[in-house]
A and B are shown apart, each in its own frame.
Chain A
Amino acid sequence: GQQLNQSPQSMFIQEGEDVSMNCTSSSIFNTWLWYKQDPGEGPVLLIALYKAGELTSNGRLTAQFGITRKDSFLNISASIPSDVGIYFCAGPLSGTYKYIFGTGTRLKVLA
Chain B
Amino acid sequence: DAGITQSPRHKVTETGTPVTLRCHQTENHRYMYWYRQDPGHGLRLIHYSYGVKDTDKGEVSDGYSVSRSKTEDFLLTLESATSSQTSVYFCAISGPGNQPQHFGDGTRLSIL
Contact = CB atoms under 8 A, between A and B. Distances in A.
B42 A102 contact: yes
B100 A45 contact: yes
Contact of A30 (B58, B59, B98, B105): B98
5 contacts: A42-B90, A43-B43, A48-B100, A98-B56, A101-B44
Contacts of B105: 40-42
Nearest to B41: A103
B40 A103 contact: yes
A31 B99 CA distance: 9
Contacts of A45: 100-102
A103 B103 contact: no
A84 B86 CA distance: 26
A42 B40 CA distance: 17
B58 to A, nearest CB: 7
Contacts of B33: 98-99
A-B pairs with the 4 shortest C-beta distances?
A: A42-B103, A103-B42, A101-B43, A31-B98
Interface residues of B, number: 25
Contacts of A30: 98
Per DSSP, are chain A's interface residues mostly helix, strand or loop, or mixed?
Answer: loop
A99 B101 contact: yes
A42 B104 contact: yes
B106 A41 contact: yes
B74 interface: no
B40 A97 contact: no
Contacts of B101: 33, 45, 90, 99
Contacts of A43: 43, 90, 103
Given A97-B48, A98-B48, A98-B58, A104 B102 contact: no
Contacts of B35: 101
A102 B42 CA distance: 6
Interface in B20-71: 31, 33, 35, 40-45, 48, 50, 56, 58-59
A102 B40 CA distance: 10
Of A31, A40, A43, A97, most B-chain CB atoms within 10 Å: A97
